[in-house]
Each structure stands twice: as C-alpha cells, then as structure tokens.
C-alpha cells in the first residue's frame, strides 16, 4: 500500500452536494489545513434540491471550490482536470436508487457509465495518485452466501443500478491494468443519517408517518439490511483515500493492476421491522411524532419489490485488516441523530 498525504493536495469530490459527498467534504475541510477541495454536482431534482443546497451552505470555506455541472459532460471534466490537477479523486456522483432504475434507465447510463468513463479518461491523462469510487452492496444481487465477501462472484445483478455499479468496478480494473491508475472501489451498505436521501426507506417512512399515512414494509418485514451510519462511511473513505493500492510489476515484468474493492458496512444486519420500531421511538423522542402515536395502525406488511434483495450483510474483514477500521455506530445512535436533525430541519409535530 502507498501512503498518501492529503495536505497540499487538490482533491476532487464528485457528487459533492450529495449525502455522502457533502459529509466527506466537510470532514476533509476539518481534517486538513492545506488541501483544496473541488466539488462538482449537477444538483438534479431526483429529490428535494433544498436538501442539496442546505448541505452546500454548510461547506462555505475558501478552500472549497464548487462547480455546478455533470460528470457526463466530457468537456467540463477535461477542463476541470486541466485547471485544477487533482491528485486524489473521489467519485461519488451517480444516479442512485434501485427502483428508480426500473422507470428511468437513461439517467443511470448517463451518470453511472458515461460519467464514470469520463472520470477514468481524465485520470488516465493526468497524474492522479488515487481514484476512489463508490460501488454498492447491490452488486451482490441475490447471492445466498452471507456475509457478502469481495471474494464472491458478483455476476448476477438484479437491477440496472447494480449492473452499472458492477460495470464501474470492471472499467476501473481495466484502466488500472492498462494505465497503472491506483483505484479503490467501495461497496457501500445502506447508508443512513442526518440530511440523508429522501428516497431511502427510513426517510420516506418518516415523511409518511408524519403525515399520518401508512408505510409499506416489504417482504412482510423479513428483509435484513446492513444499515451503515454516514459518519462511519466517511471515516472509511478518508482512511482509504490515504492508502492507495501499490504500483508493482508481476513476474512477467508487466504492471499488476493497482486495484482493490472493499465493503463498508456495519457487519451486523438488522431486521427491517426492528429498524422501523427504533425509528418511530426516536421520532417520538425528538418530537417529530406525538407521544401517543399509534404506530401499529400505520404499517402494512407487503411482498418484495422487483430489484430488491432480502438481505445485505457485509464482510468487512479486509477493511479491518488493511485500514484498521470497522463501522461501529449503533442503530439507536444513528437513528437518534437522524430524528434530531429531521426535527430541526422540518419542525416538530
């Protein structure tokens, strides 16, 4: 592994107004003293743009340069790299969501494939020390073996979203092999927390419960998810940014691809019913829901949705071995932080 100092470096974060991206930029501004962070985001309206604007407002700093634009715009990406010469690139820009990929496939091809290809090409033609990019636990599809290991075969995606993320890993591997670009892919497992994505179940549940609507819990409540608090994700990303796969030659004298993929998950899958029960307790505690809220009357158990999987469960042993880190935030602490943020942003009941 090659150690990289982030000081005196220019760092490019794509998807900088997104949930993980904005938290990463905030952390980098806090942790470094001389790094310059370039952020790019197209600010699309896949969900409430006010949330993205609120996240950006929290990043006011002379060392942070924000560019409103799309990574699918090749000319823009080439200009960005030519002007700023980023040494470390963190690609978090992507069209997210499994169900949305069924109804809006074009968005995934543009952002997740063409956009990522543009980033790879820019890394090829510029002296980038490390490319870190978001993959997803969705690549595991309907694998029966748990916990999910990065050694498992992942050739059976069950959604277009998952297929694009697997494609990112394949493209990165090819570019690492051909052009000796150190790259690390991160398979995130169900990320949640304050100012998260409203399309995620916990956020959607909260909105519906607050309006007195009934929430649907899929697979009759028998889904298990490796819920991972956003601060744990960011901690993992920051550590990995500073440790790039080593450039070296194999026995044939040719470069061995400086390429790695890691899971970042809580390594502790929770039943969806348990998750929702803790969520409603914390929403009541934070004042988002009234103390006498009848939770049982507002939930409905329904069958599985197309593209969904019954369980996600991360094997994080490689992350622990190589970076000495394992996510540890409890569901209670994470959902309490979300509920308190929600009460402050949207108001109490």
Catalytic residue chosen out of the listed positions 46, 47, 100, 161: 161
Place of tokens 């004042």: 287
- Say whether 244 sits in a helix, a strand or coil: strand
Report the residue count for the chain: 349
If you write DSSP's letter for every residue of 91-129 in order, what string do you get?
E------TTHHHH-HHHHIIIIIIIHHHHHHHHHTTT-S
If you write DSSP's letter for every residue of 306-330 in order, what string do you get?
TT--SB--B--HHHHHHHS------
How far is the CA of 16 from the CAs of 80, 106, 333, in angstroms? Answer: 14, 22, 25
**What sign does the CA torsion over 275, 278, 279, 280 have?**
positive
| Phi, psi dihedral angles at 115 (to 5 degrees) | -60, -45
Q: How far apart are CA 337 and CA 238, in angstroms?
A: 21
Q: How far apart are CA 202 and CA 179, in angstroms?
A: 41
For this structure, is 161 an active site residue? Answer: yes
Q: How far apart are CA 160 and CA 158, in angstroms?
A: 7
Q: How far apart are CA 69 and CA 16, in angstroms?
A: 11
Q: How far apart are CA 299 and CA 57, in angstroms?
A: 36
| Phi, psi dihedral angles at 295 (to 5 degrees) | -65, -40
**What sign does the CA torsion over 45, 48, 50, 55 have?**
negative
What region, left, alpha or beta, does residue 180 occupy, with left being phi > 0 and alpha being psi -120 to 50 degrees? Answer: left
Write out the catalytic residue numbers: 161
């Amino acid at each position: 592994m090659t150690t990289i100092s982030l000081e005196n470096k220019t760092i490019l974060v794509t998807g900088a107004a997104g949930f993980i991206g904005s938290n990463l930029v905030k952390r980098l501004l806090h942790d470094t003293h001389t790094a310059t962070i370039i952020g790019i985001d197209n600010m699309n309206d896949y969900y409430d743009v006010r949330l993205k604007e609120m996240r950006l407002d929290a990043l006011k700093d002379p060392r942070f340069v924000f560019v409103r634009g799309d990574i699918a715009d090749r000319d823009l990406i080439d200009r960005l790299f030519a002007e700023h010469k980023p040494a470390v690139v963190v690609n978090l820009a992507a069209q997210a969501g499994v169900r949305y990929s069924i109804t809006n496939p074009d968005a995934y091809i543009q952002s997740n494939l063409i956009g990522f290809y543009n980033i790879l090409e820019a890394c090829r033609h510029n002296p980038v020390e490390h490319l870190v990019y978001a993959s997803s636990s969705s690549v595991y599809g309907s694998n029966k073996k748990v916990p999910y290991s990065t050694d498992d075969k992942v050739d059976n995606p069950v959604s277009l979203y998952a297929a694009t993320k697997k494609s990112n890993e394949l493209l990165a591997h090819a570019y690492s092999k051909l052009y000796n670009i150190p790259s690390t892919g991160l398979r995130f497992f169900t990320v949640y927390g304050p100012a998260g994505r409203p399309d995620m179940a916990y956020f959607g549940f909260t909105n519906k419960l607050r309006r007195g609507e009934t929430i649907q819990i899929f697979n009759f409540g028998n889904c298990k998810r490796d819920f991972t608090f956003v601060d744990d994700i960011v901690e993992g990303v920051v550590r990995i940014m500073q440790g790039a796969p080593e450039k070296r030659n194999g026995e044939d004298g040719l470069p061995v691809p400086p390429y790695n993929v890691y899971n970042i998950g809580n390594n502790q899958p929770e039943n969806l019913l348990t998750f929702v029960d803790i969520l409603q307790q914390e929403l009541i505690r934070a004042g988002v829901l009234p103390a006498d809220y009848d939770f049982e009357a507002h939930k409905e158990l329904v069958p599985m949705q197309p593209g969904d999987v019954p369980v996600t469960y991360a094997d994080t042993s490689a992350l622990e071995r190589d970076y000495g880190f394992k996510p540890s935030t409890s569901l209670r602490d994470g959902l309490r932080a979300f509920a308190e943020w929600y009460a402050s942003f949207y108001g109490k009941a």
